[in-house]
Structure 1
Amino acid sequence: MSIPADSSGRMVGLFLVGVAAGSEGQPRGRGRGRACAEYASGAQFVEVGQALSGESVEQVGLGGEEAVRRVALEHIEQFATAEGRHELCVELLRLGALQDFEAMHASTQWRSYIALHATFLSLADDALQGEVQAALAAAEQELNDRIAQSYARLAALFGLRLRPCLHTSFDELATHLNATMRGFVLTAMARPDLARRQPKSGVLDTNATADWSPPALGVAATALAYLEPDPAVTWDARHVAAVRDALPTMAQLSPTSPSQDGTPSSHTE
């Protein structure tokens, strides 16, 4: 089911009012009529949640991989040195986090989708509540998979691996990043100052001065806490050329499974 963006908010808003009102809402008929109304509302809840999650997922994940490819290609010479790679990686994390936060913070779909998570537990029918929970869990898994794949490709691009001492996976990294970003989006509704960008120098051991917001810094710092240079990758001229050639698609840069522990195998010479 595809719900136009301009109608999603209205449908969800009307439904949330009904759920939140509970027994204090407008009187409803008893028996089969009430049960049918509750089922219809629940089914609508599931369908709206699926539609909103589909629209919202498209907005998240390194601010769009097309931008990653473009910036990386414009600065391909920086891949030749460890310092250059680190500077460029931090810049891509900064730009991606800024774009993701601003897209989510401004999105009525995202606000409604987040509200669904807080509201579905008010459903009186346990079976229906379980159905809604399953639908939301599936949407969350799809979102998490998208984020994990994006960061797995970023790691492969820069010859990074998950830190072995963490015994973790790209799925876990994505869960952490998703929770960090979502927490900032929620908090910024009451504290809009969190969206403010400020110029900072030397952030995350870089030599650059750039505009940072708290969400961008939180996401970038979290990602780098999980990642380290892969000692199996040799950065010679052939390798830099291989990266340049693979950038137009980036699919070639992705590990086989971003959910597995260990090192992205792409780019090993």
Structure 2
Amino acid sequence: MSESTRKSSLNRRNLRMKAEDVRAQTLQTAQELVLAEGLVVSMDHISLEYIIAQAGVPRSAVHRLWPKKEEFFGELLVLLAKRREASPSVFDPETLIEAVRTLKGHKDQLATAPGRKAALVEVCRRGAMRNFEGVIARDDWKTYLALSATAMSFEDPIRRNLQTAIAESERDYVIVMSHFYEYMARIMGREIRPQFSSESLNRPALAYLAATGAAAMEGMVLRSGAFSADRELLPEISTTTEPVDPFDTGIHAKWNGPSLNFTATLLAMTRPIDDFSYNSEAFDGNIADIERMIAEMQSALQKTGPTDHS
């Protein structure tokens, strides 16, 4: 079969594609292009005609589905906002694994209140450093920044739909992290201060803590990336200090901006449980529960595509 005959055959098949197949194939191709090349705070660098060619779909069918280019890009952005890859708050099992590893290494300190505080501070320090380094090393946080900025440039209903998709993605992260914090608090004899509890809103008690921590980390990730070329003008928040004991635990260690911020936030929003009694058997059971939760997260992350909002 000659090349011209093959192309003609492909074109005839394309013309017979169902509208839902055209929609799915075009949007999937566009998502792959954006995630591979990166999204900026504009859609001008992305050609709809190029997407059509790469997707191998009929041009006329695409324009029937989306009479205006803005309608297509609005739908594309909503799909991108639902993807796990599109947020600095993306689930990071390695951060949780580091936190659990650190806690297990300080098990012998958990029998006393000062020991529990020292262990908690070290868990926060190492976990926050790992989270910041893991996120800043990826390129997809730029997609999140662009999505957030681009949302305001559209008119309703596209803007409203995009903002809702971003919020739903954040909600999923907050719920999972709330449960993780609850397990860790149970082990270390801490509880959320009543003023910061989210139970009255029918949410996990530590949801406000999880949301606050996520927002602070996102801000530091975005700031560090946005001003990475201006280190002579602005201090680099990822730079570690000389060993210091900022929370009076008796342990001197190196800190950076993200670890200081997160640790201070968690200590401020939680408090020790007055009548807490450490139990090594309960510790082992709670650690096993946390490790099962992390394993489930890792399994879910192996699936590509949008987050599951069920």
Q: Distance in 2 between matches of 1:243 and 1:33?
A: 56
Equivalence map 1:45-84=2 (5 Å)? 45-53=77-85, 56-60=88-92, 64-84=95-115
Equivalence map 1:81-160=2 (5 Å)? 81-124=112-155, 126-160=156-190
Q: Does 1:179 align with 2:215?
A: yes
- Corresponding letter in the other structure for 1:49: A
Instruction: Measure how far apart 1:128 and its partner are.
Output: 1.8
Q: Distance in 2 between matches of 1:212 and 1:97?
A: 10
Which residue of the other structure, out of 3, 12, 16, is the alignment partner of 2:42? Answer: 16
- Corresponding letter in the other structure for 1:138: E
Name 1:241's counterpart in structure 2.
Answer: 281
Instruction: Measure how far apart 1:34 and its partner are.
Output: 7.3
Q: Distance in 2 between matches of 1:249 and 1:51?
A: 27
Contact 1:12 1:45 survives alignment (8 Å):
no
- Corresponding letter in the other structure for 2:121: V
Residues 58-101 of structure 1, C-alpha deviations (whole Å, 9 max, x = no match): 4448x532223222223221112222211111000001110111
- Corresponding letter in the other structure for 1:151: Y
Distance of aligned partners of 1:152 and 1:160 in 2 relative to their CA distance in 1, 3 Å threshold: same
Q: Distance in 2 between matches of 1:252 and 1:8?
A: 30
Q: Distance in 2 between matches of 1:33 and 1:162?
A: 50
Q: TM-score, normalised by structure 1?
A: 0.76
Q: Distance in 2 between matches of 1:82 and 1:202?
A: 17
Q: Which of 1 and 2 has greater Rg? A: 2
Secondary structure at the counterpart of residue 220 of structure 1: helix
Name 2:50's counterpart in structure 1.
Answer: none
Residues 206-261 of structure 1, C-alpha deviations (whole Å, 9 max, x = no match): 111111001110110001001111124222xxx123213431332799xxxxxxxx
Q: Distance in 1 between matches of 2:271 and 2:45?
A: 47
Instruction: Measure how far apart 1:149 and its partner are.
Output: 2.2
Contact 1:9 1:108 survives alignment (8 Å):
no
* Matched-pair identity in %: 24
For the aligned residue pairs, the C-alpha RMSD in angstroms reads: 3.1
Contact 2:38 2:140 survives alignment (8 Å):
no
Contact 2:244 2:252 survives alignment (8 Å):
yes
Contact 1:9 1:109 survives alignment (8 Å):
no
Q: Distance in 1 between matches of 2:163 and 2:196?
A: 30
The higher-RCO structure (CA 8 Å, 6+ apart) is 1
Q: Distance in 1 between matches of 2:32 and 2:272?
A: 42
Secondary structure at the counterpart of residue 250 of structure 1: helix
Secondary structure at the counterpart of residue 203 of structure 1: coil
Q: Distance in 2 between matches of 1:55 and 1:188?
A: 15
Q: Distance in 1 between matches of 2:138 and 2:252?
A: 29
Distance of aligned partners of 1:2 and 1:198 in 2 relative to their CA distance in 1, 3 Å threshold: farther
Secondary structure at the counterpart of residue 200 of structure 1: coil
Distance of aligned partners of 1:167 and 1:43 in 2 relative to their CA distance in 1, 3 Å threshold: closer
Q: Distance in 2 between matches of 1:83 and 1:6?
A: 52
Question: Which blocks of at least 5 consecutive residues in structure 2 are unaligned?
Answer: 1-26, 47-62, 199-204, 294-310
- Corresponding letter in the other structure for 1:250: I
Residues 138-185 of structure 1, C-alpha deviations (whole Å, 9 max, x = no match): 111112223322222221121101123555541111221122112212
Distance of aligned partners of 1:137 and 1:58 in 2 relative to their CA distance in 1, 3 Å threshold: closer
- Corresponding letter in the other structure for 2:133: E
